[in-house]
Amino acid sequence: MARYRIEYERDACIGAAVCEALDPIHFKIVDDGKADMLEAKQEGNLWILETDSLEMAVEAAQGCPVKIIKVIDTETGKRLDE
Ligand code: SF4
């Protein structure tokens, strides 16, 4: 199991691009003006990435104005972005 899980509710993205500015390894604004989470799998509206490398994902989650990115420690189940 990966050390971290990043969850992203793409439908609610307002295209503010803070995530891309802070963490371009994980987030990229695409043609519809919303961010994609790179290499994530999709489960309905939720995009999920399991990773051992957070890069700047916590900062991206904290910077998102609509708070639709969560970063979770998979060992403890705790949110790292709160
Ligand atoms: S910061 Fe939040 S609202 Fe802005 S593009 Fe990223 S996910 Fe969407």
CATH number at residue 37: 3.30.70.20
Give dist(CA 73, CA 35) in Å, integer. 23
Phi and psi (nearest 5°) for 28? -145, 130
Distance 17 CA to ligand 1 centre (A): 5
**pLDDT for residue 3:** 98
How is residue 41 annotated by DSSP? Answer: E
Enter the pTM of the model. 0.95
Place of tokens 């489960």: 43
Provide the residue range defining the domain that includes 27: 4-73
Assess if residue 82 is contained within a domain: no
Report yes or no on 81 lying in a domain: no
Please tell me the predicted confidence (pLDDT) of residue 1. Answer: 86
**Distance (Å, whole) CA 82 – CA 76:** 14
Q: What Rg do the C-alpha atoms of the chain give, in angstroms?
A: 11
Please tell me the residue having the least CA distance from ligand 1 atom 8. Answer: 13
Q: Is 59 a member of any domain?
A: yes
Q: Which residues of the chain have pLDDT under 70?
A: none
How many angstroms does the Cα of residue 1 sit away from the middle of ligand 1?
27
